[in-house]
């Protein structure tokens, strides 16, 4: 087991959800080190919509002070005695976790989980992934949540050659969904409330671009698609009833965005006419991550990023909240 006693445990934290852009550097204690744990010295961390919901208190009352961030890239500096997948000196990513969230959560023993707007993180090897040499760290970071959030449901719901896949929204999630659906071999239909991002969507690989702002836009496409991945927030307007009509028999509408507000109301008849299925998805497995990163390298999938020093995390959070990002913010550690 390697020793990382000289590792600094500092992070950018908020202390009040009403002042969610007022980040201050604090010292924190990581979870106690266990035999499957890995310490990673952080170099980059992506800014995710989940971070915004957490620091603003949109989902729940956070554990304060709160250090967000779960799209983390860095270097392994310590491994537990039972770790087999990584070694000291490897470049690695730490992604969103399912049972104990990467941040704003407590371990069963009461230790608090702190996120990636920090100098270091300690995590079980199940959530630490080797990064392909051909992929830069700043590119890899936002894929560990934003990319995986759409890659996993695309694969699990059969996106591939011969399938017609719709993507609702061209944003932090949507720009990945378009590229992954195309990389998997599907014909890609993009739905957006305006034409502002049409050129971007086409550059990402969209075969068709449909504006949902026009009344009755769905009439031309009814029964056409096998799968729709919805990445849009409620504030953007999600015409669910119209979109469900675009699905073929037993087509699937999968929600991956997690807005603070309720989804639009739909009628039962909207579902029974074509036997449509509505579902959701939350991140994916380690197997999914590794397959996704291989596909990224093979097909040249790119994160459209804006790189900032981590000290500007408050500015980055506000930009994401205001939907002024094309299409992911990535922070570089400067502590």
Task: Give pLDDT, residue 45.
Answer: 98
Domains and CATH numbers, the chain: 10-143+304-332 (3.90.180.10), 146-280 (3.40.50.720)
Our CA angle for 303, 145, 3, nearest 5°, is: 105
Asked if residue 325 has pLDDT above 60, the reply is: yes
> What is the value of pTM for the model shown?
0.94
Q: Which of 70-79, 86-95, 233-242, 312-321 has the lowest mean pLDDT?
A: 233-242
| DSSP H or E segment with residue 227 | strand 225-230
Q: State residue 72 phi and psi, 5-degree precision.
A: -115, 135
pLDDT at 1 over 70: no
pLDDT, one tens digit per residue, over 97-114 is 766 799 999 999 999 999
Sort 147 into a burial class: Cβ within 10 Å, 0-12 / 13-18 / 19+: buried
Closest CA to 77 of 173, 8, 151, 156: 8
100-126 residues labelled b (16+ CB within 10 A) or e (exposed): bebbbbeeeeeebbbbbbbbbbbbbbe
- β-pairing, 72-79 with 91-94? antiparallel
pLDDT, tens only, 122-176: 999 999 999 999 999 999 999 999 999 999 999 999 999 999 999 999 999 999 9
CB atoms within 10 A of CB 225: 22
């Amino acid at each position: 087991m390697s020793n990382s006693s000289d590792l600094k445990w500092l992070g950018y934290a908020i202390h009040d959800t009403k002042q969610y852009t007022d980040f201050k550097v604090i010292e924190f204690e990581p979870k106690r080190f266990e035999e499957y744990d890995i310490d990673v010295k952080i170099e980059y961390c992506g800014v995710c919509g989940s971070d915004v919901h957490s620091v603003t208190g949109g989902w729940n009352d956070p554990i304060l002070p709160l250090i967000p961030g779960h799209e983390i890239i860095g270097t392994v500096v310590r491994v537990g005695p039972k770790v087999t997948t990584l070694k000291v000196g490897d470049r690695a990513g730490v992604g969103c976790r399912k049972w104990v969230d990467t941040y704003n959560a407590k371990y069963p023993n009461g230790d608090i989980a702190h996120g990636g707007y920090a100098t270091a993180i300690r995590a079980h090897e199940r959530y630490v992934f080797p990064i392909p040499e051909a992929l830069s760290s700043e590119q890899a970071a936002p894929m560990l949540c934003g990319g995986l959030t759409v890659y996993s449901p695309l694969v699990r719901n059969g996106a591939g050659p011969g399938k017609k896949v719709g993507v609702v929204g061209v944003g932090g999630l949507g720009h990945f969904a378009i590229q992954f659906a195309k990389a998997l071999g599907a014909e890609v239909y993009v739905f957006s409330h305006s034409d502002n991002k049409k050129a971007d969507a086409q550059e990402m690989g969209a075969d068709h671009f449909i504006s949902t702002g026009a009344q009755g836009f769905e009439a031309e496409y009814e029964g056409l698609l096998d799968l729709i991945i919805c990445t849009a927030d409620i504030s953007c307007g999600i015409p669910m009833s119209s979109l469900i009509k675009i699905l073929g028999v037993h087509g699937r509408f999968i929600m991956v965005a997690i807005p603070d507000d309720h989804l639009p109301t739909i009628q039962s008849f909207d579902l029974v006419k074509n036997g449509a299925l509505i579902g959701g998805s939350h991140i994916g497995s380690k197997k999914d991550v590794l397959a996704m990163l291989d596909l990224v390298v093979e097909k040249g999938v790119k994160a459209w990023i804006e790189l900032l020093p981590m000290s500007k995390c408050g500015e980055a959070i506000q930009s994401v909240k205001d939907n002024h990002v094309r299409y992911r913010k990535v922070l570089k550690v400067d502590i």
